[in-house]
Amino acid sequence: MDAAHMGADLEKVLITEEEIQTRLGELAEQIWADYEGKDLLLVGVLKGAVVVMADLMRALPGTAPMDWMAISSYGSGTKSSGVVRILMDLRTDITDKHVLIVEDIIDSGLTLSWIKTNLESRSPASVEICTLLRKPEVAKVEIPVKYVGFDIPPEFVVGYGLDYDERYRNLRVVGTLAPHVYS
Ligand code: PRP
Beta-carbon count within 10 A of 146 CB: 16
pLDDT of residue 79: 57
> Ligand 1: which atom is nearest the Cα of residue 139?
12
Residue 132: which of 13, 36, 50 has the closest Cα?
Answer: 50
Find out whether 178 and 65 touch, Cβ atoms under 8 Å.
no
Residues 6+ apart with CB under 8 A from 52: 24, 102, 103, 104, 132, 149, 160, 161
| Distance from the alpha carbon of residue 37 to the mean position of ligand 1, in angstroms | 31
> Ligand 1: which atom is nearest the Cα of residue 108?
13
pLDDT of residue 21: 98
Q: How many helical (H) and strand (E) elements, i.e. helices and strands, does the chain have?
A: 4, 9
Which residues does residue 105 pair with via DSSP β-bridges, in sequence order?
Answer: 133
pLDDT of residue 156: 95
Active site residues: 107
| Distance from the alpha carbon of residue 6 to the mean position of ligand 1, in angstroms | 23
Residues of the chain with pLDDT under 70: 74-81
| Distance from the alpha carbon of residue 169 to the mean position of ligand 1, in angstroms | 13
Find out whether 101 and 45 touch, Cβ atoms under 8 Å.
yes
How far apart are the C-alpha atoms of 18 and 172, rounded to whole Å? Answer: 10
Residues 6+ apart with CB under 8 A from 132: 20, 23, 24, 52, 103, 104, 105, 149, 150, 160, 161, 174
pLDDT of residue 60: 97
Residues 6+ apart with CB under 8 A from 43: 66, 67, 68, 69, 90, 99, 100, 101, 102, 119
pLDDT of residue 77: 47
Ligand 1 first shell, C-beta below 6 A: 45-48, 79-80, 103-112, 163
Find out whether 25 and 58 touch, Cβ atoms under 8 Å.
no
pLDDT of residue 27: 98
Residue 66: which of 84, 49, 48 has the closest Cα?
Answer: 49
> Ligand 1: which atom is nearest the Cα of residue 73?
16
